[in-house]
């Protein structure tokens, strides 16, 4: 069985937050006893399980790049910033081309429990081609891919749905991991999401 160091976390953080009206990835959320940008919380959670974690960012995200670097997170800057999520995935996979597998996470989903990430990683290490958490019957994030999908992931481009087509074509290969972690479905797209988010209610 391969060690954790052979696997890489890929954090997709190059979105433009158009529905949020501001850079949502820099929006501060509670993290322990302090506040931290949303994307940095997502990165730290992924990094707790996968010490090698890479964040895919835009070149104009100077503050985010600086803060991620302070956390020890490697960043990959997209040369083309309008290529959709597929291009971000391809860039992240290419930057960790020699990994045995990858866990792809979204920077606007900061409430996923580390234990859930650990279970997805364990499924890959135990031979699952693809693994993903399920909460109340709905598949969530992060999604893990074995190295056998490297070529397909690196070939993604201009696809707002990211790896959806790969998941659809290989649905029978996905190990679904039931969990009691609502965070796997909880993203933040609009300011209203901050008001209705169950993790942020008083």
The per-residue pLDDT for 202 is 47
Q: Which of 30, 28, 67, 27 minimizes the C-alpha distance to 47?
A: 67
- Cis amide bond preceding 142, omega within 30: yes
Answer whether residue 84 shows pLDDT above 80. no
Residue-level pLDDT at 16: 76
pLDDT band at 83 (very low <50, low <70, confident <90, very high): low
Q: What is the mean pLDDT of residues 86-109?
A: 96
Name the pLDDT band for 142 (thresholds 50, 70, 90). Answer: very high
User: Would you list the domain boundaries of the chain?
Assistant: 4-196
Global confidence as pTM = 0.92
Task: State the DSSP string of 97-141.
Answer: TT-SEEEEEETT-TT--HHHHHHHHHHHHTT-SEEEEEETTEE-S
CA distance 194 to 113: 18
Top-confidence residue, 199 or 90: 90
First to last CA, the chain: 43
- Picking from 108, 97, 72, the residue whose alpha carbon sits closest to that of residue 8 is 97
pLDDT band at 3 (very low <50, low <70, confident <90, very high): low
How much is the average pLDDT of 130-147?
Answer: 97
Between 197 and 48, the more confident residue is 48
Considering only residues 15 and 41, tell me which one the structure prediction assigns the higher pLDDT.
Answer: 41
Query: What average pLDDT does the segment 172-177 reach?
Result: 98
Higher-confidence position of 81 and 79: 79
Q: Could you tell me the two tokens for 77? A: 């800057």
pLDDT of residue 79: 77
Across the chain, what does the average pLDDT equal?
90
pLDDT of residue 15: 82
Q: In CATH, what is the architecture of 4-196?
A: Alpha-Beta Complex (3.90)
């Amino acid at each position: 069985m391969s060690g954790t160091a052979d696997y890489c976390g890929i954090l997709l953080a190059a979105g433009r937050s158009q529905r949020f009206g501001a850079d949502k990835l820099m929006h501060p959320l509670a993290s322990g006893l302090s506040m931290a940008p949303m994307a940095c919380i997502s990165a730290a959670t992924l990094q707790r399980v996968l010490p090698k974690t890479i964040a895919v960012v835009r070149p104009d995200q100077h503050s985010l790049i600086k803060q991620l670097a302070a956390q020890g997170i490697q960043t990959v800057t997209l040369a083309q910033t309008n290529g959709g999520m597929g291009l971000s995935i391809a860039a992240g996979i290419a930057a960790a081309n020699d990994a045995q597998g990858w866990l792809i996470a979204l920077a606007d989903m900061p409430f996923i429990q580390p234990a859930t990430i650990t279970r997805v990683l364990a499924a890959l290490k135990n031979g699952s081609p693809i693994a993903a958490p399920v909460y109340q019957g709905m598949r969530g994030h992060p999604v893990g891919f074995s190295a056998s999908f490297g070529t397909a992931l690196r070939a993604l481009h201009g696809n707002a749905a990211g790896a959806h087509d790969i998941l659809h074509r290989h649905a029978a290969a996905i190990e679904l991991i039931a969990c009691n972690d609502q965070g796997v479905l909880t993203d933040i797209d609009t300011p209203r999401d901050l008001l209705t988010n169950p993790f942020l209610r008083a």
